[in-house]
Structure 1
Amino acid sequence: MEKHNSSLAEDLSHPDLVLNIGKVTLGERYRKELQKPQRDQEKVKILQAACALLNSGGGVIQMETADQIEQPVEMGQDLEMSLRELIQSSDLQAFFEYKHQGRCSYIFVKSWSSGPSPEDSSTKPRICSLSSSLYRRSGTSVCLMKSGEAFDFLVTRKKCKMNEEFLQSKISRAAHQNISEANLAFQVFQRNRLEYGEILPFPESQSVEFKQFSTKHIQEYVKGLIPEYISAFANSGGGYLFIGVEDKSRKVLGCAKDNVDCASLTRAVAKAVSKLPIVHVCSSEAQLSYRTKVIDVFLKEDLYGYVFAIEVEPFCCMVFSEAPSSWIVNDKKNIYTLTTEKWVHMMMDTDPDLQCLSEDFESQLSLSSGPPLSRPVYSKKGLEHKKDLQRILFSVPLENVRYTPESLWKELSTQHEGLEALISQQMDPFSRGILILSRSWAVDLKLKGKQEVICDALLIALNSTPILYTVLRDQDAEGQAYCTKTAFTLKQKLVNMGGYTGKVCVIPKVLYLSSKSNAETMQGPDFLVDYPSSYYLTETQQMETLLQALVIVLLGFRSFLSDQLGCEILNLLTVQQYEILSTNLRKSRHWFVHGLPGSGKTIMAMKIMEKIRNMFGCEADRILYICENQPLKNFIGYKGICQAVTRKTFMKTDFEDIQHIIVDEAQNFRKEDGDWYRKAKDITRREKECPGILWIFLDYFQTSHLDISGLPPLSFQYPREELTKVVRNANKIAQYLQEVMKDIRRRPAPNIPHGSLEMLPEAEWVCGIQGTFQILRNLTMDQIVTIVADKCKMLLEKGYSFRDIAVLVGTTDEVDRYKHDLLRVMRKKRVVQFSDANGMLSDHIVLDSIRRFSGLERNVVFGILEKSAEPAILKNILACLASRAKQQLFI
């Protein structure tokens, strides 16, 4: 995919992306004394590193000063000019700052972003490039498109791509010739003979280029013309290249027959054309179409030589002269050259077209203004914006330094004598800011934790760069590496995930708390280069913008929409969800989470499993996820974060390697195969010194049977947390769901524990989307299937896809009965894409029972309930059904 460039390496001991490019001659005086080849070679090294860092979240270029006595106070005009050309701006300091320190010189590189440029309000390309390798015709010239021009060209090509039927049929050759009969260039191209000295009846133009043959190395000369001229004509409506014609006089000169081997030249041209990279933005797989022609040139009646002509047809998308000159740093911290396909993809990367979801979500981070590696972030309408979340969780005080969360700080300072004095000493120099504490910032960032760490604390303060403190009790050889890696990851995520576009670094500091003397010892990162003052936060707005990026880093999770849309987008947790996720797992090993329908229990289960992996350093095969239904089990298993099984499978297997268990939708479990709860407890308590995690997620409102669930009595379900913020359903569906839940609370089924439904009055219903809700009663089967088929057809015509829709019935026996009639009617309407809930991720309408769809969701749900449904739990079934629908519900 990407071509490795091994000439540059990363400094792994730094909390930023540092590319050490070796010796470079710096300073105007010294660079002028260099030979041009060496000067150009050094320039390329710097430009590659700069481009790679711009595209990868920013960082530092480290250079050893090459055999110089004086400290260079400037890079040199040629380097500064090249860097300005790279960013296409005269404001060099917008992205680069130069500094000499010790034996090395450094260029500090801010991340590229596609928002307005420093000098005007125009939008920049998504990525930075040294060369686009895209050529076009401009009058009689061939022009290399700058990045901005290339971006506009790509966008235009995508919008105005040729009709695919035209591409497939290519229009008959005869029709093409008839259209071209009046074209004088075409007429000359059709000729087999020209006269030496003949004046062609047309000049150079947008579609015609004349070139003379080189006197030496003719084949290499012609091959050298191919990349620029053929790609330019293909990108500009087609044209003709005549080699052997003087451009100003239009005089035919040709090439002497003894100096050229026409067959060999034709093969060389074909080989050169075949190497031109092409990229489609349409569904066509058409190749570049061209023809070569060797035209005899006669001097009087004798064959003198040849004119070599190339006819190039217009290309539907893009033809490059070679791969663009653009680089990126990959996950292994190596610089790679972007392939042409990857470059086009990144250049044209845009926010997904949510179509029918546009009324449901609002953008929190758009690609139109974000760094190259950022992904779009959306939140459901009605939920807090990232600005609101930042003010709730990380508000900047008017004065002094605020410690948050206060409860964690109180717990830590009480447990660890001397910690308060140690942290206070560190905070003395700062007049205003926020200190965000965590038991492990590494775990918060999805890194592996370190058991010896007392706590980590991130300081965001005025007149300072962000600082990450790691507090250890005693000296630890790995302490600095842990802190540095965490600071590095945090900086990268603030930019590449959080979308922060300012200059940023995170400085790591390790503090040691001696249990004997309560004295501080600190290992400072003496390897660290001092960052320029422009990296300091100097105003409240800067601090808040950085903290909003931090909100996305901490609360962002991969949306279920990602699988549906085919591209990764992020959603944000609610404050309530984030606070539960922040629970200290070492103290909360056995936990019950009661969540109302649509409050995000399954998302929380997944996030807790990710946290278990990082906090305890265990692999996915040590974590077991248990649910009642096969479809939900498959859905979670697909994520690759755990082993996933149904309850029945759990009761048949020993699971000797399992250490941690997460149970989801536990209200629908049964004891028919044995005491699953006792077995889960026994497994997680096998290691007496270090018991495992057992978290159980449930919702008694969605109890869908009358059997014994196997859960302990409600009074034994402690510690317990509650998720009361309902975030899934549109307003009209949520209103119906509230009424159903009130009925359940008034008349609960006999197997629902007394007192388990008392959380309903505390429910918070997120408003923002009207949605659609409709109940139709007393219908025949024919009427039902006709209504479902008609509405599905209408929805698909409005832009919904098959994977937006689920048809749910009361029991599994009813599935086959309705499937036959639905297929019969839908075939007539050409709507036949069905699967059961196991095909949740496929592009099909789901047809399954309400129970088997538990824990899953779709935008549009049709619920078919027969009068024979169990009356004692009918309301529970309706609650389960309604909670599955995000936008539209038809019962």
Structure 2
Amino acid sequence: MNMEKHNSSLVVELLYPDLVINVGEVTLGEGNRNKLQKSQREQEKVKVIQAACALLNSGGGVIRLEMANKDERPMEMGLDLEQSLRALIQSSDLQTFFETKQQRRCFYIFVKSWSSDLFPEDSSVRPRICSLETSLYCRSGTSVLLMDSREAFSFLKTKKRDAKILGKEPSGKVLKVRHQNSYNSNPADPIFQKDQLEYGEILPFPESQFIEFKQFSTKHIQQRVKDIISVYIPAFANTGGGYLFIGVDDKSKKVLGCAKENVDRDSLTEKIEKAIYELPCVHFCQSQCQVNFKVRILDVLARGELYGYACVIRVKPFCCAVFSETPSSWMVKGKNVCSLTTKEWVDMMMDSDPDLQWLCKDFESQLSLSSGPPLSRPVYAKKGLEHKKDLQQLLFPVPPGHLQYTPESLWKELSAQHEGLEELIEKQMRPFSQGILILSGSWAVDLNLQEKQGVICDALLIAQNSTPILCTILREKDADGQCYCTRTAFTVKQKLVNMGGYTGKLCVRTKVLHLSPESHAESLAGSGSSIDYPGSYNLADTQQMEALLQSLVIVLLSFRSFLSDQLGCEVLNLLTAQQYEIFSKNLRKNRELFIHGLPGSGKTIMAMKITEKIRNTFHCEADKILYICENQPLRNFISNKNICQAVTRKTFMKHNLEKIQHIIIEEAQNFRTEDGEWYEKAKTITQRQKNSPGILWIFLDYFQTSHVVHSGLPPFSAQLSKEELTRVVRNADPIANYVQEVMQVIIKNPPLNIPHESLEILLEAEWAQGVQGTLKIKKNLTLEQTVTYVAETCNRLFERGYSPKDVAVLVSTTEYVERYKHELLRALRKKRVQLSDACDMLGDHMVLDSVRRFSGLERNIVFGIHPRTPESAILRNILVCLASRAKQRLYILWHGDC
């Protein structure tokens, strides 16, 4: 099918909580479509197929057609449209992805999201996206074959694997050896070397895997040549190379050429070369070369006179993949249906879970790209923590035989504050016998959208024998209420599929209600979409409800893993239930909060997530939110996220910061008061607006205190609003056990500047178990022995797949850093390893810095050298800070003078 390659004219309608593409008028019914002119039938088909492909690749949705037929009788789609949809999904079972429904003259095609587990019979052949045509050709005997999605996936997978194996070795050289018989010893090569042929001459070889004969057309010669080239050159390039003869009859093998009056030799050469250079190429290797070819225009003589010309093109094997044109595949981007570029198509087609061989023992997959929708990302949970199923059962359990409201505390609070709300909601819930109603102060904020004023609450209903329903309850009638609810429900649906990985049929209906101040009665502000979805979109049983709720867990609890920067692709991790409980707090009712978190409990992640929530709750820009920490490296790390302003405590005390409304503070136990009372200043800033004070959340861990002076924090008893993070998620088992031992010592003899009652948090600690790791402690080492040990250990780890960006070397004080830098560089010079301080955490180098300056950061491998501080009273605290920075491997190296 000849499909347009540029962006489609189709536009997504914005009136529904789903992707709805209106393709305009389409003639339906087999008989009616047969009466259409071919061009009109094809034009209508193109619109429907583009819309269907775009929705399959974008999370699913609805195609809306207006029947061109004048009557409103029930009508089938038409055989040609059905066949095109079957070709699109490469399946005879249309109902797997498509259902239809007619409402008067509106005809709807309901489209489920594409899922790469469509081919369960072969898990190794699972194209990630849906495509009408791949535009990838290959040779098979004397034929040229267009690869389908599965064949293209296997072909590209092989090319990508070969490129990885070849590494930096020049791919052309390897391929030349591998395929030398395809052209150097080919019987066509002597003919290729000639300057002329005789008209009617029979070539002494047939067509084969590496030889193709084609004849010129009698008219439109250059277009004919271009069409031949766009198919046969990629096919040869993708399959060992070969020779394309144009001007030779494929049956008789006679040289016929093209009469000189009908073709210009130079113009023909130029057109051929231009056509080949325009072929889309995609590389997996380091080379960015184009197709390697040579064109020869041979004179064709008749009785010694020039009759015309024949053309021979020699094509060498291509290192990666050559396409005839851009693949036929579409997606929804914003409001438009757009064609994927060749690179986008290959990137999405080949998208796969990252290679976590060196981490697989630490993480377990929660959502794999091998079975997820096209836009989903891989999700991993740390071993020893709750998986998505555990989190779903804990946070959103489906009760047997009744409807449950959750969180119960929020339901009681809302019912007490808003008279008539309980009656209103329970009236709406009467038709539903089993499921869960998930309440929120703002589902928009939960989904990283902006909050709407006047919303009492949102409630997401997941019930048996019903589609999900999002209810928005307003204080009073609001013309924008339905728009808000529709936009929020749309985001719920899109994220459940494209982020949560839900692969079932899904829609989210909307309902907008308000409490009348006079009568507390219900008033329906709008019922949302008027589209009547098929019954298959209802959740049939507990299993389907739980599957959807597990996708919801990923949507609400996932965050961009710090692994993403190391791997070069986005990877998601999940919050713990404890972290989510704090994160989901109502910010307006928790404006000041002290969060005490044990080492490795995820305070930095929480600080970043809360920053995003502040922006959406209070409709403020990043320059209104301030993140404060003690050390420059942690400040740089947060600043690179571009979610807020980030400063150190010293900078904070120097400036007025008039724009700031909200403040997040991390590692507060290490703050000091030498530059002034930072806590009082932060509190003054966040309370400037008396009627609407800002947020002041302070994260701290007294166990990691790195000094013996006053921190400036209010007394522990004066920290009236407190929460605790006691689930430790970072460290491997041996490291976690060591940290526990050191913390027990601290409790027995705490430094004078640490409130003893604050250390009782250790009694509530939970440690994630089951993660293997390494802890080694070496004593009585000289400086030379220490450096040698670090270098030799690093070399062994690099050979096992680790890289310099996995390693941090931390010393007890800043003055030791320069002392070790020169020696370490000299010991690692063969590996060409670079050293940098912690200010540049994202670079591909080892970090060398002090324990204090690495506070709040982490790496897989940590060497702690001479972890001794002049303040011997906090030696154990420094050890806790050091050890907790290591995720997998910890090496503590003591000097002989310790």
TM-score range, shorter chain: over 0.9
Q: Report if the CA contact (8 A) 1:810-1:869 is conserved.
A: no
Shift of 1:70: 2.9
Judge conservation of contact 2:747–2:759 (CA < 8 Å) in 1.
yes
Cα distance in 1, alignment partners of residues 514 and 458 from structure 2: 12
Are 1:115 and 1:123, in contact at CA under 8 Å, matched by a contact in 2? Answer: no
In structure 2, the partner of 1:640 is 642
Q: Does residue 1:249 correspond to 2:252, yes or no? A: yes
1:266 maps to a residue whose letter is T
Partner of 1:798: 800
- Residues 467-506 of structure 1 show CA distances to partners (whole Å, capped at 9, x for unaligned) of 0111112111111111111000000000000000000011
Question: Does the 8 Å CA contact 2:486/2:528 hold for their aligned counterparts?
Answer: no
2:310 corresponds to 1:279: no
C-alpha spacing 1:353/1:476, structure 2 compared with 1 (3 Å): same
Deviation at 1:299, TM superposition (A): 2.3
1:136-155 residue CA offsets vs partner (Å, 9 max, x unmatched): 11221111111111111111
- How many angstroms does 1:220 deviate by? 2.0
Deviates more, 1:204-213 or 1:691-700: 204-213
Contact residue 91 and residue 118 of structure 1 kept, 8 A: no
User: Does the 8 A contact of 1:789 with 1:825 survive in 2?
Assistant: yes
Residue 821 (structure 1) aligns with: 823
SS at match of 1:249: coil
Report what 1:830 is aligned to: 831
Residues 747, 756 of structure 2: 8 Å contact kept = no
- What does residue 876 of structure 1 align with? 877
Determine the structure 2 residue equivalent to 1:767. Answer: 769
Letter in 1 for 2:90: Q
Query: Does the alignment pair 1:204 with 2:176?
Result: no
Question: 2:296 maps to which residue?
Answer: 293
Q: SS of the residue aligned with 1:410? A: helix
| 1:453 corresponds to | 455
The corresponding residue for 1:224 is 227
SS at match of 2:599: coil
| Distance in 1 between residues matched to 2:145 and 2:175, nearest whole Å | 32
Secondary structure, in 3 states, of the residue corresponding to 2:831? coil
What secondary structure sits across from 1:46 in the alignment? helix
Tell me how far apart the structure 2 counterparts of residues 800 and 489 of structure 1 sit (CA, whole Å).
39
The amino acid that maps onto 1:284 is: S
The amino acid across from 2:80 in the alignment is: D
CA contact (8 A) 1:132 1:145 kept: yes
DSSP 3-state at the match of 2:132: coil
Tell me the alpha carbon deviations over residues 588-644 of structure 1, each in whole angstroms, 9 at most, x when there is no partner: 101100000000111111111111111111111100000000000010111111100
Secondary structure of the equivalent of 1:738?
helix
Q: Distance in 2 between matches of 1:733 and 1:175?
A: 50
| Number of the residue aligned with 1:858 | 859
> Amino acid of the residue matched to residue 490 of structure 2?
F
Opposite residue 92 of structure 1, the aligned amino acid is: L
Residue in 2 that maps onto 1:321: 324
Cα distance in 2 for partners of 1:276, 1:230 equals: 9
Question: Taking structure 1 as reference, are residues 154 and 822 closer, same or farther at Cα in structure 2, changes over 3 Å only?
Answer: same
- 1:709: which partner in 2? 711
Contact 1:243 1:254 in 2 (8 A): yes
Q: CA deviation at 1:419?
A: 1.1
Q: Which amino acid aligns with 2:330?
A: W
Q: Of 411, 428, 440, which residue of structure 2 is paired with 1:409?
A: 411
Code of the residue aligned with 1:501 in structure 2: it is T
1:549 is matched with which residue?
A: 551
Q: How does 1:645-724 map to 2 (within 5 A)?
A: 645-724=647-726
Q: Which residue of structure 2 lines up, in the alignment, with residue 16 of structure 1?
A: 18
Equivalent AA in structure 2 for residue 251 of structure 1: K
Structure 2 SS opposite 1:649? helix
| Deviation of the 1:258 alpha carbon | 2.5
Cα distance in 1 for residues equivalent to 2:794 and 2:586: 46
Letter in 2 for 1:423: I
Q: Distance in 2 between matches of 1:712 and 1:165?
A: 59
The residue number in structure 1 matching 2:516 is 514
Render the CA deviation track for 1:839-891: whole Å, top value 9, x for unaligned.
11111100000000000000000001255642100000000001100000000
Give the 3 Å change call, closer, same or farther, for CA 217–598 of structure 1 in structure 2.
Answer: same
Q: Per the alignment, in what secondary structure is the counterpart of residue 308 of structure 1?
A: strand
2:704, 2:878 within 8 Å by CA — same for their partners in 1?
yes
- Quote the residue 1:341 is aligned against: 343
Q: Which residue number in structure 2 is paired with residue 601 of structure 1?
A: 603
Structure 2 residue aligned with 1:41: 43
**Paired letter, 2:326:** A
Gaps of 5+ in 2: 893-898
**Does the 8 Å contact 1:633/1:646 carry over to 2?**
yes
- 1:472 touches 1:479 (CA, 8 Å); kept in 2? yes
SS in 2 for 1:889: strand
- Mapped partners of 2:694, 2:370: distance in 1: 44
How many residues align? The count is 888
In structure 1, distance between residues paired with 2:672 and 2:123? 62
**Aligned AA (1:66):** A
**In the alignment, residue 442 of structure 1 is paired with which amino acid?**
A
1:393 is aligned, of 387, 392, 395, to: 395
Matched residues in 1 for 2:574 and 2:528: separation? 38
Question: Cα gap change, 1:607/1:184 in structure 2, threshold over 3 Å: closer, same or farther?
Answer: same
2:106 aligns to what?
104
| Closer/same/farther in 2, CA of residues 87 and 176 from structure 1, 3 Å limit | closer
Structure 2: distance between partners of 1:486 and 1:165: 49
Contact 1:164/1:284, CA 8 A, preserved across alignment = no
1:742 to 732, 741, 744: 744
- State the distance in 2 between where 1:135 and 1:656 align: 63
Cα distance in 2 between the residues matched to 1:205 and 1:554: 58
- Indicate the larger mover: 756-765 or 298-307: 298-307
Change (3 A) 1:694 1:129: same
Could you tell me how far apart the structure 2 residues matched to 1:92 and 1:317 are? 34
- How far, CA to CA, are the matches of 1:470 and 1:174 in structure 2? 67
2:473 is matched with 471
Q: Aligned equivalents of 2:568 and 2:179: distance in 1? A: 39
What TM-score, normalized to structure 1?
0.97
Structure 2 distance, partners of 1:656, 1:165, is 54
Given the superposition, is the C-alpha separation of residues 17 and 726 from structure 1 closer, same or farther in structure 2, using an over 3 Å criterion? same
Mapped partners of 2:181, 2:457: distance in 1: 79
Q: SS in structure 2 opposite 1:454?
A: strand
Shift of 1:833: 1.3
480-489 vs 247-256, greater mean Cα deviation:
247-256
Give 1:489's aligned residue.
Answer: 491
Q: Which residue number in structure 2 is paired with residue 189 of structure 1?
A: 192
Sort the Cα spacing of 1:433 and 1:872 in 2 relative to 1 into closer, same or farther, 3 A: same
Q: 2:534 aligns with which of 532, 537, 540?
A: 532
Deviates more, 1:529-538 or 1:103-112: 103-112
Q: Closer, same or farther in 2 for the Cα pair 1:327/1:699, shift >3 Å?
A: same
Three-state SS of the structure 2 residue aligned to 1:756 is helix
CA distance in 2, matches of 1:867, 1:249: 89
Q: Which residue of 1 aligns with 2:57?
A: 55
Q: Deviations over 1:377-408 (max 9, x none)?
A: 00111111101110111111111101111111
Letter in 1 for 2:876: K
Is the deviation greater in 283-292 or in 373-382? 283-292
8 Å CA contact 2:863–2:890 kept in 1: the answer is: yes
Instruction: Decide which moves more: 61-70 or 774-783.
Output: 61-70
1:94/1:118 contact within 8 Å kept: no
Q: Which residue of 1 aligns with 2:895?
A: none
Q: Which residue of 2 aligns with 1:362?
A: 364
Residues 28-79 of structure 1 deviation map (CA, whole Å, 9 limit, x = unaligned): 2211111000000010011111111100001111111225213342111100
CA distance, structure 2, for counterparts of residue 155 and residue 293 of structure 1: 34
Q: 1:398 to 1:242 in 2, by over 3 A?
A: same
- Separation in 2 of the partners of 1:204 and 1:363? 50
- CA distance in structure 2 between the aligned counterparts of 1:416 and 1:15, rounded to whole angstroms: 28
Distance 1:703 1:171, change over 3 A: closer
Q: State which drifts further: 775-784 or 521-530.
A: 521-530
Q: Is the 8 A contact 2:511 2:528 kept in 1?
A: no
> Could you list the runs of 5+ residues in structure 1 that have no partner in the other structure?
none
- Check the 8 A contact 2:125/2:154 in 1, yes or no: no
Report the Cα distance in structure 2 between the residues aligned to 1:33 and 1:6, rounded to whole angstroms: 26
Residue aligning to 1:845 = 846
Secondary structure of 1:476's counterpart equals coil
TM-superposed deviation, 1:831: 4.3
